[in-house]
Amino acid sequence: MSRRQAIVPYVGQSREIGFLTLFSGESDGALDPERKCQYMTMKRAILDRGGYEREHYITQTPELHEMTD
């Protein structure tokens, strides 16, 4: 989890206006295939717990692309 992903839910809770969308780019690049799948599970948990509607991210891993909505 990046610092931004950890901090944004906290900041959103302390303000009247929350964040609905996250953005990240190729943050899975250094991970092995098993860790990439775990990473996607973590990303979904962040969306659920943070109350986000969506995340836009860039990946060059076909398996992760297939796991997206």
Closest by Cα among 68, 55, 66 to 24 = 55
What tens digit of pLDDT does each residue of 38-55 get? 988 988 888 888 788 898
Average model confidence (pLDDT) across the chain: 80
pTM, rounded to two decimals:
0.65
Domain ranges of the chain: 21-69
- Using CA atoms, how far apart are residues 40 and 28, in angstroms rounded to an integer? 9
Predicted confidence band of residue 7 (pLDDT cuts 50, 70, 90): low
